[in-house]
Structure 1
């Protein structure tokens, strides 16, 4: 049986860090290689959760946009309806990420419009969405694993 992609990435990171970096004499290059190995290790830990994280993030952003679409200009409300109809039909990371980027553009436009209208409850909700997005993207909790 073939090893999982996670296992393959972990082995590659270890090989780079332990065997290949030992062959380098330049400390700067060793440091760069160590950083790349660390990123591979982090990727191996996060790859299983990436699609699920994007799916949930997209769902959360779209839910927020739909909740407040009636308080937005007609043009922005139409963009939200249009994007709702263009949800990805597959679970490829590239499709989910592309949809995520479109949602974030609308989220920024919505945030700006709601700030102009001084909608305090909506602004509180959008900060919760932004906090959640930031939480999903953090890797700080994995940094100790690469030292």
Structure 2
């Protein structure tokens, strides 16, 4: 699937969320969306990134933005991850990689000398009308949430 284009409508989706719910991008129209894809619950980089988004979640909310995390983990795994680290935003389970592929975040990675296909840490900023406004790829976890927040403030 081709990479989503800045200035074009963001690919729509509905995914199971933590707390046994379904979250649809279309249902969130009217709010900006920070959609971040991460490799795995409770791993060091993913925990750091998620905690940073949580720490800044009030600032994102003041700007009318909703934070959504997406990984290939199950909702049960997401529920444990949220509880363990006090995450107050939804984590979405893309266990069949459909949304990961819509946003072109499944990439070849080198894992202990082996080539594997996995989620490339990426974030997408979607405006209130559902248009993709920014994309960050190959994200480094540390400081990323603050950079997204600063960018959101300029829109």
Q: Same fold (TM over 0.5)?
A: no
Structure with bigger RCO (C-alpha 8 Å, 6+ apart):
2
Is the strand fraction higher in 1 or 2?
A: 2
Q: TM-score, normalised by structure 1?
A: 0.23
Is the helix fraction higher in 1 or 2?
A: 1
